[in-house]
Structure 1
Amino acid sequence: MNPLLSVCVLLCSSCLLFSDSVLARYAPLYSPAAGPALAPLMWPVPRPSSGTVAPSSSGVAVTTEKHGRHLDTELILAIILASVALVAIILGLFGIWFYRRNNHLRPDSNGAQNSDGAKVSTFGPILGKFNSMKTVKKGSVCAIDHALLEAATNNFSESNVLGEGGFGRVYKACMDDGVLVAVKKMENGGEDFEREFENEMDLLCRIRHPNIVSLLGYSNDGQTRFLVYELMQNGSLESQLHGPSNGSALTWHIRMKIALDAARGLEYLHEHCNPPVIHRDLKSSNILLDSEFNAKISDFGLAVTGQSKGSVKLSGTLGYVAPEYLLDGKLTEKSDVYAFGVVLLELLMGRKPVEKITPSQCQSIVTWAMPQLTDRSKLPNIVDPVIRNTMDLKHLYQVAAVAVLCIQPEPSYRPLITDVLHSLIPLVPIELGGALRILDTSPSSKNKLSSH
């Protein structure tokens, strides 16, 4: 029990005992059951005409009126004191309740759930379906039996591979009750491998946001580690843009929605987590898409916290790494903004961040696109043919302007991700999570792009 609450209960008990003792003291004088022996005290005694005090049958003077008034005064005073004490105790208890309620509702300083139990409960309805599985709660995540993952992935069959990263593959898994999840198998070993595993598990246990992928659990099997995520049915943005479909499923508005979702996820990391989280490896392959093309940021193995300034070990993916981080090792939130700008160029042009122009020479999308992004006569020609002539020119110009600002070589010239977010909201239809109202969808009512 809370110490303050114990003190208040003790005071309340003492007050009640005091009240009981006072009432017990005076009960014989006022109780109707006192009997005939006390009847003279219940009735006024007539004053003798001579002013003398009438003697009692035993020869003792009884000043009943004066003594009764004295007892009345003591009783009233006792009742008042007891009432005041009781009110004070009630107010004290209410104050303690209000204080504890405020403390319970106050968000944790790192922008995440504080207790292990709270962290586990935020895994959402998917974890609720794991009841039939061999799982145990260990710390802040759900530890899943390795044999269960083997069975769910058909012994990690090649046919279940969803993608591949630096430390292993990601597999599609079907659990006992039909729940579909994604399982990342990490088996390269080494110090970096272990650090990234712990880093991602720690961050994703505490970070919960609609545009950040949800971690459902983990498993250990010797030197192999497994992370279990919610399944994103449409894979990564990279596979959609640069895979067999070449972005054919991504309309202009869906691409803007993906950019908006990614910006919302980054804004949460930069502005709402305390300390701020820098992803450090934002790229199209780490932006995952669900069945309705809602985008979520994934892969937090390289993420760092509280790194507003400073030098860290160079990590990342060629083509997305900001110049100041690549050359000087200086990492800030603006480094993520640069990577976001590269992703925005991919959405606009359908090109990879780095492409080979000769067997021995590569070209960056930033270097290639920058001169054309600021030229309105050339800009329509570099737009992905899949979406060319499908958007308003003014919207294209605005997105290109945002991308140009994000990929500025000087970090101080880049906008905050919050500013980027506010610039994209008016370009996304309301039904897709933005603020754009489409009043007339007929081709004649739109200012379409024309071929040049």
Structure 2
Amino acid sequence: MRAKPNHVFYVLLIFLCYSHRSEAQLPSTQGYTCTANQTTTPQPCQTYVFYRAMAPDFLDLASIADLFSVSRLMISKPSNISSPSAPLVPNQPLFVPITCSCNSVNSSMSISYANLSYTIKPADTFYEVSTTHFQNLTTYQSVGVVNPTLVATNLTIGVNVVFPIFCKCPNSTQLQNGVNHLVSYVVQPSDNLSTVASRFGIQTQSIIDVNGNNTRTWDTIFVPVTQLPELTQPTVVPSSSTPEDDDRKGVVTGLAIGLGITGFLLILVFGFWVYREGSLKKRIIMAGDEEKQRSKMNKEVKGNKGLMGMEVSLMADVSDCLDKYRVFGIDELQEATDGFSDSCLIQGSVYKGRIDKEVYAIKKMNWNACEELKILQKVNHGNLVKLEGFCIDSLQANCYLVYEYVDNGSLYSWLHENENEKLSWKTRLRIAIDVANGLQYIHEHTRPRVVHKDIKSSNILLDTNMRARIANFGLAKSGCNAITMHIVGTQGYIAPEYLADGVVSTKMDVFSFGVVLLELISGELAIDEDGNALWASAGKVLEGNDEDKARKLKNWVDKAFFGESCSMETLMNVMTVAVSCVHRDPSKRPNMVDIVYALCKSEDLFHDISDDALSDPAVMGR
């Protein structure tokens, strides 16, 4: 299906824009250009947009939070709303948090905006969503620039579109002057700069200094504030009747009804007393038997209807996958796994099964596979485990995901359970690069970005050539920079900001990858028997002068390297990458692009073994 285009409307709109609004008077409708210079303007930054609740779709915090990919609590607190579940009234003012950064849209242009993903619905257009849903916080021209592969007049329903919400980060001078936020505010027909300044409790000149003195209605301006003003929220008007009046009326009415019912019951009981005594026991027994049968039948019918409804619902949710993946029958999976016997169990709820001479890994799940399916259908990379198909079992209320079978098991088993054969350093570094490439793909080449949320050595599988593939997208989230109250993950790999505040971002995957790197270097578990996290002490290895670092690194690395010729320079470089990945401050962690570059650079050093080679066990002694 395609969203309905309106060509006449677009022609008229463009004519009006160019007839009545000159380029010299207004900022570019494509957005606010910027230069990604961390010295003059620190990037990214958290700021806010001024948003107004509106009927019919955005009169509750849940719908607005979904639109901006944040939690309700993140809106209610700065907006002075007592409860995240409180209803809203039309035009109620809100502060909605966004993450602003300078984004390159082509080789010659960068725009400052918050990256928000929106799924196109019937009758949606770039203009409609920009002006109504996002209330002119962006423009349809800017949406077109940021999504160059999409045709504005021929949008596919269900496609994800990036809507660039205009914003700016305070520069270093503004920060020194106490400006902590530049709030994005859309000028209304009844506004002037004086009224806007009064609303935010600042001087009019402050707004002019940032935006100039030539703003027009529907322009996005940036209001400099040290802290957000306290918004005055509407109150509910109480009923005009008093509690005493209500109580008095209730008593009178209750007495009248009660007396009438009592009299009727007395007559009824007396009239049927003899009849009741003679046949009551027999009727109770018969009615009881009938009721049991009826209840059983109702439960079966309702259960079947419920399961059928669940199946229909799930099939509707994954309808886009039907032509991409094979839909297996439950009988096929039962036969392939010998009835899901323990002898076919690989790990957790994943079974090994052979269907049509092909071996698969079959993951048994409840009815929560929809999100994982939606994410997996968007990704296709050699370092991600490939989904081959799925199966829906409505009778048992189960869903099965069928993956390719990866022969050599998990990295965890090779590092911590295989005592007979240890991975070489070169193999470990190759594995690290494979995992980094897989994460770079889901972080940088999916829209919206995918956060895996459960990177760990047991979720990294090795094929026959010992090349790594990332598995288990059961906790993955499409979209980032959000807050969740439901913390999930594996102890020892969880990023501090996610554990403390529920912050979901690609940097939490970077942290977990850093822990995996530390496992590869040291051969140690991510968390020991005493509950000590491996990453917590890793930074100490890089403290001191070069000689101290080399000595501590030799005590850190896996003893399996003692007989190898691997350069100290390579080990030190990878250790530096790992420590930077597990930095407590997510903004100071590298992104996966930089990590892949640094690790590939290390791999080249195998051709240039230095004199510090760790090939002598005496040198490597602890």
TM-score (norm 1): 0.61
Percent of counterpart pairs with the same letter?
Answer: 36
Letter in 2 for 1:419: D
By how many angstroms is 1:199 displaced? 1.3
Determine the structure 2 residue equivalent to 1:155: 339
Alignment map for 1:284-433 (pairs within 5 Å): 284-311=457-484, 313-357=486-530, 362-374=531-543, 375-390=549-564, 391-428=566-603
Is the aligned partner of 1:202 residue 2:386? no
SS at match of 1:203: helix
How far apart are 1:259 and its partner, in Å? 0.4
Cα pair distance change 1:393/1:183, threshold 3 Å: same
Mapped contact 1:282–1:340 kept (Cα < 8 A): yes
Q: 1:159–1:107: structure 2 CA closer, same or farther, 3 Å change rule?
A: farther
Corresponding residue for residue 172 of structure 1: 352
2:427: which partner in 1? 254
Closer, same or farther: CA 343–447 of 1 in aligned 2, 3 Å: closer
Say if 2:461 and 2:470, in contact at 8 Å, map to a contact too: yes
Secondary structure of 1:378's aligned partner = helix
| Rg comparison, structure with higher value | 1
**Whose RCO is larger (CA < 8 A, sep 6+)?**
1
3-state SS of the aligned residue for 1:227?
Answer: strand
Letter paired with 1:209: H
Q: Determine if contact 1:211/1:297 at 8 Å carries over to the other structure.
A: yes
Q: In structure 1, what is the Cα distance between the partners aligned to 2:511 and 2:608?
A: 34
Please give the per-residue CA displacement for 1:152-203, whole angstroms capped at 9, x wherever unaligned. Answer: 1222232222111xxxx11111112x111111122xx4xxxx33x1111111
> Corresponding residue for 1:54?
none
Q: Distance in 2 between matches of 1:115 and 1:150?
A: 37
Distance in 2 between residues matched to 1:427 and 1:180, nearest whole Å: 36
Per-residue deviation at 1:302? 1.2
Q: Does 1:277 align with 2:450?
A: yes
Distance (Å, rounded) in 1 between the aligned partners of 2:590 and 2:472: 24
- Could you report, residue by residue, the CA deviation over 1:293-313 in whole angstroms, capped at 9, with x for unpaired residues? 111111111111221344453
- How many residue pairs are counted as aligned between the two chains? 298
2:405 aligned with 1:218: no
Displacement of 1:138 in angstroms is: 3.0
In structure 2, give the amino acid aligned to 1:340. F
Q: 2:150 and 2:371 mapped to 1: Cα distance?
A: 19
Deviation at 1:223, TM superposition (A): 1.5
Q: Is the 8 A contact 2:550 2:568 kept in 1?
A: no
**Does the 8 A contact of 1:171 with 1:182 survive in 2?**
yes
**Change in 2 beyond 3 A, CA 1:115/1:229:** farther
- Whether contact under 8 Å (2:538, 2:579) holds in the other structure is no
Say if 1:265 and 1:336 are closer, same or farther in 2 by CA, change over 3 A. Answer: same
The AA in structure 2 aligned to 1:204 is: L
Task: Report the CA distance shift for 1:341/1:171 in structure 2 as closer, same or farther (over 3 A).
Answer: same
Alignment deviations for residues 248-271 of structure 1 (CA, whole Å, 9 cap, x no partner): 341101100110000000000111
Write the distance in 2 (CA, Å) between the matches of 1:238 and 1:151: 30
Higher helix share: 1
Opposite residue 401 of structure 1, the aligned amino acid is T
Q: Which runs of 5+ in 1 are unaligned?
A: 1-105, 117-136, 429-434
Could you tell me whether the CA contact under 8 Å between 2:481 and 2:503 is conserved in 1?
Answer: no
The counterpart of 2:325, out of the listed 126, 132, 141, is: 141
Q: Shift of residue 368 of structure 1?
A: 3.5
Superposition deviation, residue 438 in structure 1: 2.9
Give 1:396 deviation, angstroms.
Answer: 0.6
Structure 2 residues without counterparts, runs of 5 or longer: 1-147, 159-320, 544-548
Contact 1:393 1:448 in 2 (8 A): no
Indicate the SS of the match to 1:248.
coil
